[in-house]
């Protein structure tokens, strides 16, 4: 039987792949997308890590746990007495699962709307013939062969596991199990104080767990601006997260009672940690299993990523790779932007991405967000800069919202005043950072931000004040 031919076949329907497929279809190309994700109920689903076991479910639980904490500890400050709040964890998890389902079904709708063929199963390269790439998709009903003029690999990533720490997603969990615990552990251990460790550690702390985090590096949140890491350290430890830096994890044993972790502290002293559950969040690794890259003469680099150039082109004509399976931050919006870029390239347009203006967010409470260079990076680069910082404490809206922790910090070139980096720790930082990303895309100066009328009272006034502070003219401090 002849294989069906497509202009573009995308492998993977996470945020990188499904966005690439939609954009390519919008541009008039005939598109198919292979996706094999299977839910615990055995249903095939689109959306990848992000929608199924990443961004979306984690943010649903963050919001629920923040509401619970507020009801338990903070509504009284507003003069509202709701008595003792009661947690229905099963309902909370079911709400999260409902949001995931709504979102993944939404992508099925978008695929239908854009006439994208969903190839339901695992795709692998079979070779190349006459300028077309052959792919085989292993579906439940049998194998499907397709030919593609262009292929976009968007196969994503999976949790990195550690030797001697077998993840069963019951006692020892990666992100998958950590988003669906059946009860709130009394004691929770977390290996790795990175994004997932802090976000999910905070969720379970807010729901009542005693959380201990073991981080291998001697520094805390090394990718953040130093001022932000210091502030975040103060806030998170005050909230009750016990974080140990410079920890070396040794033997891990499980029993009916839970998990025991032998570890060595930064001073070299032997320590033990007994917990009911353990989350292992030590980074993610690219997913290239079973793609049969060799059939099209492709391989991976020493860290497992598919090598690409600035435009996500592999060394093979018309084969692109995007998202977590290539270099750069493992962020959904970075993958989405690469998806749009590659689809537009295939359609003959000339898009590009400025990787320096991709914002980062850590959804703790308060949130952390940044874009551009950190102060320590500017120092290392020998760049002359000026810095302005303004606290949420001096903002009326923040006080009214009981969200006065943290600050905005703006870094600008000492000569041109161009904004080089913006760093926020504070409530709603994920939304506030968008203004900074727009400013940097347009190569705005701190003076430009300071001259823009910001609504009053709003958290965004802190951005303006921090921009004014670059020139030592903050008005409300």
Q: Which does 235 bind (CB under 5 to 8 A by kind): ligand FAD, ligand NAD, none?
A: none
Supply the minimum distance, in Å, between the C-beta of residue 367 and ligand NAD: 9
Supply the minimum distance, in Å, between the C-beta of residue 237 and ligand NAD: 16
CA 181 to chain centre: 20
Q: Which does 34 bind (CB under 5 to 8 A by kind): ligand FAD, ligand NAD, none?
A: ligand FAD
Supply the minimum distance, in Å, between the C-beta of residue 361 and ligand NAD: 5
Q: Which does 287 bind (CB under 5 to 8 A by kind): ligand NAD, ligand FAD, none?
A: ligand FAD
Q: Which does 362 bind (CB under 5 to 8 A by kind): ligand FAD, ligand NAD, none?
A: ligand NAD
Nearer to ligand FAD, 328 or 457 (CB): 328
74 annotated active-site: no
Q: 416: burial class by Cβ within 10 Å (0-12, 13-18, 19+)?
A: exposed
The two three-digit tokens of residue 118, written as one number: 């969903």
**How far apart, in whole angstroms, are the C-alpha atoms of residue 366 and residue 391?**
13
Nearer to ligand FAD, 206 or 464 (CB): 206
List CB contacts of 427: < 8 A, sequence separation 6 or more.
365, 366, 367, 392, 398, 401, 403, 405, 406, 459
**How far apart, in whole angstroms, are the C-alpha atoms of residue 87 and residue 72?**
10
Nearer to ligand NAD, 126 or 239 (CB): 239
Q: Which does 154 bind (CB under 5 to 8 A by kind): ligand FAD, ligand NAD, none?
A: ligand FAD
Nearer to ligand NAD, 131 or 268 (CB): 268
Three-class secondary structure of residue 83 per DSSP: coil
Q: Which does 217 bind (CB under 5 to 8 A by kind): ligand NAD, ligand FAD, none?
A: ligand NAD
Nearer to ligand NAD, 50 or 420 (CB): 50
Supply the minimum distance, in Å, between the C-beta of residue 285 and ligand FAD: 11
**How far apart, in whole angstroms, are the C-alpha atoms of residue 362 and residue 356?**
17
**In Å, what is the CA distance from 398 to each residue of 69, 144, 408, 462, 464?**
18, 56, 13, 9, 14
The two three-digit tokens of residue 12, written as one number: 């993977």
Q: Which does 282 bind (CB under 5 to 8 A by kind): ligand NAD, ligand FAD, none?
A: ligand NAD
Nearer to ligand NAD, 60 or 298 (CB): 60
Nearer to ligand FAD, 333 or 397 (CB): 333
Three-class secondary structure of residue 458 per DSSP: coil
Supply the minimum distance, in Å, between the C-beta of residue 261 and ligand NAD: 10
Q: Which residue is nearest to ligand NAD (CB)?
A: 194
Q: Which residues bind ligand NAD (CB under 6 A)?
A: 162, 191-197, 199, 214-217, 247, 249, 281-284, 329-331, 361-363
Supply the minimum distance, in Å, between the C-beta of residue 205 and ligand NAD: 16
Q: Which residues bind ligand FAD (CB under 6 A)?
A: 11-17, 34-37, 48-50, 54-55, 58, 122-123, 154-157, 175, 196, 287, 290-291, 323-324, 330-333, 335, 363
Check 73, 74, 78, 456 and give the catalytic one. Answer: 456
CA 426 to chain centre: 18
In 3D space, the residue among 318, 31, 59 whose CA is nearest the CA of residue 199 turns out to be: 59
List CB contacts of 457: < 8 A, sequence separation 6 or more.
395, 396, 397, 400
In 3D space, the residue among 436, 447, 451, 449 whose CA is nearest the CA of residue 471 turns out to be: 447
List CB contacts of 109: < 8 A, sequence separation 6 or more.
none
Supply the minimum distance, in Å, between the C-beta of residue 206 and ligand NAD: 17
In 3D space, the residue among 234, 166, 173 whose CA is nearest the CA of residue 203 turns out to be: 173
Q: Label residue 382 left, alpha or beta by phi (over 0 means left) and psi (-120 to 50 means alpha).
A: left
**How far apart, in whole angstroms, are the C-alpha atoms of residue 293 and residue 314?**
11
Where in the sequence numbering do the catalytic residues fall?
Answer: 456
């Amino acid at each position: 039987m002849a294989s069906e031919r497509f202009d573009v076949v995308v492998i993977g329907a996470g945020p990188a792949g499904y966005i690439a497929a939609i954009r390519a279809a919008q541009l008039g190309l005939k598109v198919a997308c292979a996706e094999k994700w299977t839910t615990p109920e055995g249903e095939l689903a689109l959306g990848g890590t992000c929608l199924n076991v990443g961004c979306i479910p984690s943010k649903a639980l963050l919001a629920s746990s923040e509401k619970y904490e507020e009801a338990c500890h903070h509504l009284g400050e507003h003069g509202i007495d709701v008595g003792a709040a009661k947690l229905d964890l099963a309902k909370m998890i079911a709400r999260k699962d409902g949001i995931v389902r709504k979102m993944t079904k939404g992508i099925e709708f978008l695929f239908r709307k854009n006439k994208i063929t969903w190839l339901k199963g695992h795709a692998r390269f079979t070779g190349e013939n006459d300028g077309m790439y052959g792919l085989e998709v292993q579906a439940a009903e049998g194998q499907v062969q397709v030919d593609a003029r262009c292929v976009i690999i968007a196969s994503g990533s999976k949790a990195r596991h550690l030797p001697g720490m077998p993840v069963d997603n019951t006692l020892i969990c990666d992100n998958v199990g950590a988003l669906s615990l059946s009860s709130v552990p009394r004691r929770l251990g977390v290996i790795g104080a990175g994004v997932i460790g802090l976000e999910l550690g905070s969720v379970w702390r807010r729901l009542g767990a005693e959380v201990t985090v073991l981080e291998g590096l001697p520094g805390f949140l090394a990718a953040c601006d130093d001022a932000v890491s210091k502030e975040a350290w103060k806030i998170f430890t005050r909230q009750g997260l016990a974080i140990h830096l410079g920890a070396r994890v040794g033997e891990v044993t499980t029993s009916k009672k839970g998990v025991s972790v032998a570890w060595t502290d930064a001073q070299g002293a032997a320590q033990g940690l007994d917990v009911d559950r353990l989350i292992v969040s030590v980074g993610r690794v690219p997913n290239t299993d079973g793609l049969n890259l060799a059939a099209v003469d492709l391989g991976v680099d020493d860290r497992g990523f598919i090598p690409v150039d600035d435009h996500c082109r592999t060394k093979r004509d018309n084969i692109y790779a995007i998202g977590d399976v290539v270099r750069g931050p493992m962020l959904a919006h970075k993958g989405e932007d690469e998806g749009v870029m590659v689809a537009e390239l295939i359609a003959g347009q000339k898009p590009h991405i400025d990787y320096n203006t991709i914002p980062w967010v850590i959804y703790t409470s308060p949130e952390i967000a940044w874009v551009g260079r950190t102060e320590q990076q500017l120092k290392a680069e020998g760049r002359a800069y000026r810095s302005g910082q303004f606290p949420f404490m001096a903002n009326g809206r923040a006080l009214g919202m009981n969200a006065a922790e943290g600050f905005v910090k703006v870094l600008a070139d000492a000569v041109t005043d161009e904004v080089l980096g913006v760093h926020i720790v504070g409530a709603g930082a994920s939304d506030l950072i968008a203004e900074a990303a727009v400013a940097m895309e347009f190569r705005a100066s701190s003076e430009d931000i300071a001259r823009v009328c910001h609504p009053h009272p709003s958290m965004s006034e802190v951005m303006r004040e921090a921009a004014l502070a670059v020139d030592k003219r903050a008005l409300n401090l």
